[in-house]
Amino acid sequence: MRSSSLRSLMFKGLTIVAAIMSVTSTYAKTVVPLVTTSFYPPFAYLENGQQKGALLEFIERVAPNLPNYDMQITSMPFNKISQHIIDGNAAGYLGAYYSINRWEDVYPYSYPLFYEQHLLICNSEKSAGKDWPDEHEGTKLGTVRDYSDWLTFGAKARNLGTMNVLEFPSPDFLLRGIHLGTVDCGIFERATYAYKLAKLIERDELPSKPKLFQSSVIGQTSIHIAFSEKYLEANPKLKTFERDFNSAFHQLLQNNAFDDILERYELGVY
């Protein structure tokens, strides 16, 4: 009886120790709070309250290779992200275009997750065939509100003063505006254009053969995690996260671990 009781006590003791070690291991992880946009498919968006999109898939693929970190991603409207990062309320913005002068106190940037090509979509083959931007004097150009300033070629068009630029509330509205002739052309990321066009046709909001013509690629931009200097300074444990993330990401990239994501979303890599 005594031997049996002793074994029972030893087993319970080992169970408690294992549980404590498990809890300790969980709590030892360094939390990395990141934010991303809540409404910009197919890159990052909410669907029935669930986070979806290419950016989330990249992070899910990298996470197991960063066992010491717990990347927690919050979705929010794009127009709230910049101040959130500048104020140091999150470690970084997942989905940032590389723009060294865009925001104050946002640095460094992670290794590029991928690069996104930008297209000019027009409602006539003639307009789509013109050279960008030299032959687009007088063009009615549509961009998506809150995103147009990220596109250096869009900014260039504004600075030239030769185009009439109109902002639309979403890519859906912009595509319909081009089809209906509200504007002549619009600037889109390749992945966004393909995704939105398919959805609009599927919902019968555009005909199966809309008046939309694709130009050649007019630019491309790398996509990163942009870090908050203020947050990193206040949280010394995260000083090595950028290095560790870049190392893990690059190793997976070299092993073609992201090929299925890149192919599905028609994205490129460096």
Structure confidence by residue, pLDDT tens digits, 147-165: 655 445 545 555 456 788 8
Tokens of residue 177, six digits: 């505006």
Q: Are 218 and 169 in contact (CB under 8 A)?
A: no
pLDDT for 79 equals: 85
Domain 116-221 has CATH 3.40.190.10: yes
What is the identity of the amino acid at 56?
A: L
pLDDT tens track for 68-102: 999 999 999 988 998 899 899 999 999 998 865 56
pLDDT tens track for 193-205: 999 999 999 999 9
* Total-model pTM: 0.81
Beta-carbon neighbour count of residue 171 at 10 Å?
23
pLDDT for 17 equals: 46
Higher-confidence residue: 1 or 138?
138
Question: What's the CA gap between 233 and 251, in Å, rounded?
Answer: 27
pLDDT value at 4 more than 60: no
Range with lowest mean pLDDT among 68-72, 103-107, 217-221, 228-232: 103-107
Phi, psi angles (nearest 5°) of residue 161: 70, 15
What is the identity of the amino acid at 5?
A: S
Higher-confidence residue: 58 or 134?
58
Q: Which residues contact 103 (CB under 8 A, 6 or more apart)?
A: 82, 85, 86, 226
Q: Which residues contact 211 (CB under 8 A, 6 or more apart)?
A: 123, 124, 178, 179, 181
CATH topology agreement for domains 8-115+223-265 and 116-221 = yes
Question: What's the CA gap between 27 and 220, in Å, rounded?
Answer: 40
Query: Average pLDDT, stretch 61-72?
Result: 97
Consecutive H or E run containing 74: strand 69-76
Question: What's the CA gap between 270 and 248, in Å, rounded?
Answer: 15
pLDDT for 269 equals: 72
- Listed by start position, the domains of the chain span 8-115+223-265, 116-221
pLDDT value at 18 more than 70: no
Q: What percent of the chain has pLDDT over 70?
A: 81
Torsional class of 181: left (φ above 0), alpha (ψ -120 to 50), beta (otherwise): left
pLDDT for 25 equals: 46
Domain 8-115+223-265 has CATH 3.40.190.10: yes
Q: What percent of the chain has pLDDT over 90?
A: 60
